[in-house]
Structure 1
Amino acid sequence: MGDSKKYITAEELKKHNKREDVWISVQGKVYNVTDWIKQHPGGDIPILNLAGQEATDAFIAFHPGTAWKHLDNFFTGYYLQDYEVSEVSKDYRKLCVDFAKAGLFEKKGHGVMYSFCFIGFLLCLTFYGVLFSNSFLIHMLSGALLGLTWMQISYLGHDSGHYVIMTTKGFNKMIQIMSGNCLTGISIAWWKWTHNAHHVACNSLDYDPDLQHLPVFAVSSSLFKSLNSTFYGRELTFDSLAKFFVSYQHFTFYPIICVSRVNLFIQTLLLLFSKRKVPDRFLNILGIMVFWTWFPLLVLSLPNWTERVLFVLTSFAVTGIQHVQFCLNHFAADVYVGQPKGNDWFEKQTAGTIDIACSPQMDWFFGGLQFQLEHHLFPRLPRCHLRNISPIVQELCKKHNLSYRSLSFFEANRWTIRTLRTAAMQARGLIWDAVNTHG
């Protein structure tokens, strides 16, 4: 008997890449997910970024085994003609199966409990130092402790966003609102919106929001072409103001990072009060109100405005170390322009990420994100396993002649500043050309 299956070509699949007509292929079967994107827990952007494509590796990376049964509801009856799996993808998928069989995605260790205790301890020290001491130095130390607390809370929120760290999804959501909105003032809804897009479109200049920092920073001269951000739905304008800021970005990087938390507060408010559909909008706004109640009251408990301003700046500067780390993981890695592709998942993650080498004793400080490539390849894997799987990932990269970059914290900073300086010099060249052209 002949093959009775119905097939479509990759070119035909590509035509279904609009919001009102979204098809994807998973393991060669074609699915119509047009209606599903409206209720997809990970948001619509990750699916839209891979619309009209074969997206098996991305699907495997983000979804537990229980998600596969839901796919049948969207099956079109078509199969992808000439469906092939690269050798890299075969090895990657085998690793995913091996890790699942070993129960690594479910074994979360005791890290969550340790994090809760540590965060509680730091918060108690912070409040005690502010409320029960008259010492200027103690007040500043309390500000630094608050910054360190925010770092640890963000790691916990990050973990809960990628996998369920609590006993149920309901408790997991509660922890997300508590850790993100109530304690840091940054909405978990905003984080999920940007972070899921970042993972799928890692280091795409026009699809990855984590590289779209104009007019302040530009990691590549490709951004000088005023690319259109598909994430924000607007042009990333490289005008005279951007040229000026970018020309000095290797000098302004650290000072701006020290106060970059203000931008996160603003982005949170812009999203929560926008017309965009926001999951659990009321809970997110309620959580933000909690933050903007206790934090100002804590600051106002300090004796004078000099100490209040310095306290805030100190807390922002310390947590800025974490913002620097986020930049180190990607700014100096390879970038590209265009839509992410579903058939080179492993390759794109290796190209767009940089690991930070550190001793196991420092894992708490970096929150697992020092193993950035491992995290990007297996985002559902609890951070307690990342160090253990690192040698396996290195071997796979070596086997397929793919880059695996692991730098010390100092060296990663040097690479990042070098990348910013290169783009700054190119921006200065544009300014110089403009002056000579226009007199």
Structure 2
Amino acid sequence: MGATTTWSRDAVAERILAGEHLIVYRGQLLRIPTSWVDAHPGGTLALLHFVGRDASDEIDACHLDQTRQLIPRYSIGRVELKDDAWEPLVPPVMSGWVRKSVPGTKSSEWYREATAQRSTVNTQLSPSSQILLVSNEYAPAGEHVPDLATLEPPPTDLDLKVQARQSQAYKELHQRVVDAGLYNTPYLTGYGPEIVRYTLLACLSVYSYHHSWFITSAVCLGLMWHQLVFSAHDLGHMGVTHVWAIDRLISILIADFIGGLSIGWWVENHNIHHIVTNHPSHDPDIQHLPFFAVSPVFMSSLWSSYYKRVMPFDQFAKIFVSIQHKLFYIVMAFARFNLYVNSYVFLYKKAFDTRRARGAGWSWGLEVVGLVFFWCWFGRVLYGCGSWQMALAYLLVSHAVTSPLHVQIVLSHFSMSTADLGPTESFPHRQMRTTTDVICDESVGFVHGGLHLQVTHHLFPRLPRHNLRRASVLVKEFAREQGLIYAEFGFVNGNAEVIGVLKGVADQVKLMGKVASVEAKEAIVKKIAQKKTA
């Protein structure tokens, strides 16, 4: 079929069930080859989450102009609209279905990796539109492939016309941001002071270490890591030079060689977070069992489409979650160690990935070299502390100093909605519902790296963070016009909100334990009574 073909919703659904990856972009139907799905620099899931949906706003927000110019080559026609909007389908991956290669052939077949549980109620926590994934042990018998019912969204309270209007308004807002020159990187006024700050902290760390002031050196090193990660973040979004190869090269130097973390892992993880923000089954940034559960739905041992495993709400998780509000800052103090684990597991798996999904060969190889280099120099720093006790103190202090960054990041999402409002929800509606800013004075914004303005950042991921404050003025105006809430918390109030959410879930876990205990006691009493009457 040619590019002049008009596709009905049913025809698109049939092609998706036949195994094609079809995505709607500005009224065009794009057919994404499997080879490109595997090779997508933003990760495979970033595409799979939009099969059958309109991804116009997300594509515009996350891709450079030169990348978007290549999109027409994938168009196979236009789609039929309803009230000037595409009526979305549910992507198979969001119902637990993926395509897997058939060994020894070039073909693929459907594979159920998890079972979809659709909400049977309509509450704030579990709206009628919600689809969560659980283990296949709950799968209905006889279902071996997805069908039309799998792709049909559950009922929603959202109005397609309203969501389409918000989407159109966002496109106009995006153009205003472009016209205002906010995508232009302020190299001198933005990164100039930051480079001075990085250099000063590095020199202070080396100077203190040379004079055997090891704890002072550790603090300065931790502060440098804390500040450097903001630039790595920008580079991962291609928000500095706006050239993938250059930004990736610089980010590997910062993240891998200096920080010991994989920028490749972070980019893939972070892209998914931006696309399915705060979805319990799909957003890895809120999937922290057994340590944290930000919603009671995690008590159902959900399946993670990102980690490809069940997140068990077992006895270990019950213990930790029941006191998670008390452990929050302790866990955050050691959060960097979890980043190491995720980074190295990611690179290990990529070593066996023969598809282009590994990215440019030099990128993966250079990351491995960078991590070896990091542990060589940092290991030498620890060895030079003179004793294992001091080396341990240096390790823990340098890592704990970075914890405010992790606290800041979770403040922007942990206290916000984790409900799934379905594929009808527009990009701006979803981002503003699930994200909040941390209010702070402009003079101390550098402490947060400018990323305390998370609402604007989530709407414009590629925007240089030094321009987020100016862009936020436009976003707030947009929110007022569209009847959307631009959420903001002060740092102290934001912490209180997060602790309140964690305590609320913890209290429910404790309540479940009490109910189970009472039921167990009643069962024992009943059993004893039966024995006495026997």
- How big is the shift at 1:20? 4.7
* Aligned-partner Cα distance in 2 for 1:20–1:184: 41
Identity, % of aligned positions: 29
Aligned to 2:411: 328
In 1: Cα distance, 2:460 partner to 2:81 partner: 28
Within 5 Å, give how 1:40-119 maps onto structure 2: 40-82=40-82, 83-84=84-85, 86-110=164-188, 111-119=190-198
Cα 1:167–1:64 shift into 2, 3 Å: closer
Query: Which range moved further: 172-181 or 60-69?
Result: 60-69
CA–CA distance in structure 2, aligned partners of residues 212 and 18 of structure 1: 29
Q: 1:241 to 1:81 in 2, by over 3 A?
A: same
Between stretches 428-437 and 280-289, larger displacement belongs to 428-437
Say yes or no: does 1:286 pair with 2:369: yes
Contact 1:14 1:51 (C-alpha < 8 Å) held by counterparts: no
Corresponding residue for residue 430 of structure 1: 512
Q: Give the CA deviation at 1:19.
A: 11
Read off the aligned partner of 1:272 and give its amino acid letter.
L
The equivalent of 2:105 in structure 1 is none
Pair 1:176–1:399, CA change in 2 (3 A): same
How far the C-alpha of 1:108 sits from its partner, in A, is: 2.9
Match status 1:211 vs 2:211: no
* Partner of residue 386, structure 1: 468
- For the 8 Å contact 2:4–2:76, the answer to whether it is kept is no
The structure 2 residue matched to 1:129, chosen from 208, 213, 218, is 208
Deviates more, 1:414-423 or 1:280-289: 280-289
Query: What is the CA-CA distance between 1:293 and the residue it aligns to?
Result: 0.7
Contact 1:8 1:81 in 2 (8 A): no
- The match for 2:92 is none
Separation (CA, whole Å) in 2 of partners of 1:392 and 1:250: 36
Deviation at 1:192, TM superposition (A): 0.7
Mapping 1:175-324, distance limit 5 Å: 175-274=250-349, 275-276=352-353, 277-279=357-359, 280-324=363-407
**Distance (whole Å) between structure 1 residues aligned to residue 419 and residue 400 of structure 2:** 31
Matches of 2:177 and 2:233 in 1, distance apart? 21
Q: What CA distance in whole angstroms lies between the structure 2 residues aligned with 1:126 and 1:146?
A: 6
Secondary structure, aligned partner of 2:401:
helix
Q: How many residues in Structure 1 have an aligned counterpart in Structure 2?
A: 431
Is the 2:29–2:77 Cα contact (8 Å) retained in structure 1? yes
Larger radius of gyration: 2
1:356 equivalenced with 2:438 (yes/no): yes
Structure with bigger RCO (C-alpha 8 Å, 6+ apart)? 1
Secondary structure, counterpart of 2:69 in structure 1: helix
Instruction: State the superposition RMSD in angstroms.
Output: 2.0
Which stretch of structure 1 is more off in the superposition, 145-154 or 301-310?
301-310
Distance in 1 between residues matched to 2:208 and 2:198, nearest whole Å: 15
1:395-410 paired onto structure 2 within 5 Å: 395-410=477-492
Q: Give the direction of change, closer, same or farther, for the CA distance of 1:392–1:303 in structure 2 (3 Å limit).
A: same
1:8-30 deviation per Cα after TM superposition (whole angstroms, max 9, x unaligned)? 23454355557952110011110
**CA distances 1:233-284 after superposition (whole Å, capped 9, x unpaired):** 1111111111111000000111111112111111111111114543332111
* Aligned residue number for residue 25 of structure 1: 24
> 1:320 offset after TM fit, Å?
0.8
Please, what TM-score do these two structures have when normalized by structure 1?
0.93
> Counterpart of 1:95 in structure 2: which amino acid?
L
Contact 2:7/2:77 (CA < 8 Å) preserved in 1? no
Tell me if structure 1 keeps the 8 A contact 2:173–2:478. no
Which residue number in structure 1 is paired with residue 458 of structure 2? 376
User: Contact 2:239 / 2:463 at 8 angstroms: preserved in 1?
Assistant: no
1:173 Cα shift?
1.9
Letter in 1 for 2:517: V
In the other structure, the counterpart of 2:93 is none
For the residue of structure 2 that corresponds to 1:273, the secondary structure is helix
Quote how far apart the aligned CAs of 1:384 are: 1.4
Displacement, 1:167?
7.8
Q: What CA distance in whole angstroms lies between the structure 2 residues aligned with 1:88 and 1:319?
A: 38
Of 236-245 and 396-405, the range deviating more from structure 2: 396-405
TM-score (ref. length: structure 2): 0.77
Question: 1:380-413: CA deviations, max 9, x gaps?
Answer: 1111111112122112212222221111111111
Pick the aligned partner of 1:416 from 490, 498, 519. 498
Separation in structure 2 between the aligned mates of residue 223 and residue 152 of structure 1, nearest angstrom: 33
Q: Partner amino acid for 1:59? A: I
The whole-number CA distance in structure 2 between the counterparts of 1:23 and 1:53 is 8
| Aligned-pair CA distance for 1:169 | 3.8
Instruction: Pick which of 276-285 and 416-425 moved more.
Output: 276-285
Preserved CA contact (<8 Å) 1:57 1:343: no
Give the letter for the 2:23 counterpart: I
Letter in 1 for 2:311: L
Q: Which stretch shows the higher mean deviation, 277-286 or 226-235?
A: 277-286
Q: Give how far 1:341 is off.
A: 3.0
Cα pair distance change 1:14/1:428, threshold 3 Å: farther
Gap runs ≥5 in structure 2:
86-160, 522-534
* SS of alignment partner, residue 41 of structure 1: coil
- Contact 2:232/2:251, CA 8 A, preserved across alignment: yes
- Mapped to 2, the partners of 1:434 and 1:296 lie a distance apart of 49
Checking the alignment, whether the CA contact within 8 Å between 1:229 and 1:236 is kept in structure 2 is yes
Whether the 8 Å CA contact 1:7–1:81 is kept in 2: the answer is: no
- On the 8 A contact 1:180/1:186 being kept in 2, the answer is yes
- Matched residue SS, 2:292: coil
Give the whole-Å Cα distance in 1 for the aligned partners of 2:284 and 2:423.
17
In the TM superposition, residue 299 of structure 1 has moved relative to its aligned partner by 1.5
Residue 108 to residue 33, structure 1, CA distance change in 2 (3 Å): farther
Name whichever structure is richer in helix by fraction.
1
| Conservation of the 8 A alpha-carbon contact between 1:109 and 1:384 | no
Say if 1:18 and 1:48, in contact at 8 Å, map to a contact too: no
Q: Which runs of 5+ in 1 are unaligned?
A: none
Contact preservation (8 Å) 2:237, 2:267: no
- Partner letter of residue 351 of structure 1? R
Question: 1 CA distance for matches of 2:52 and 2:42?
Answer: 18
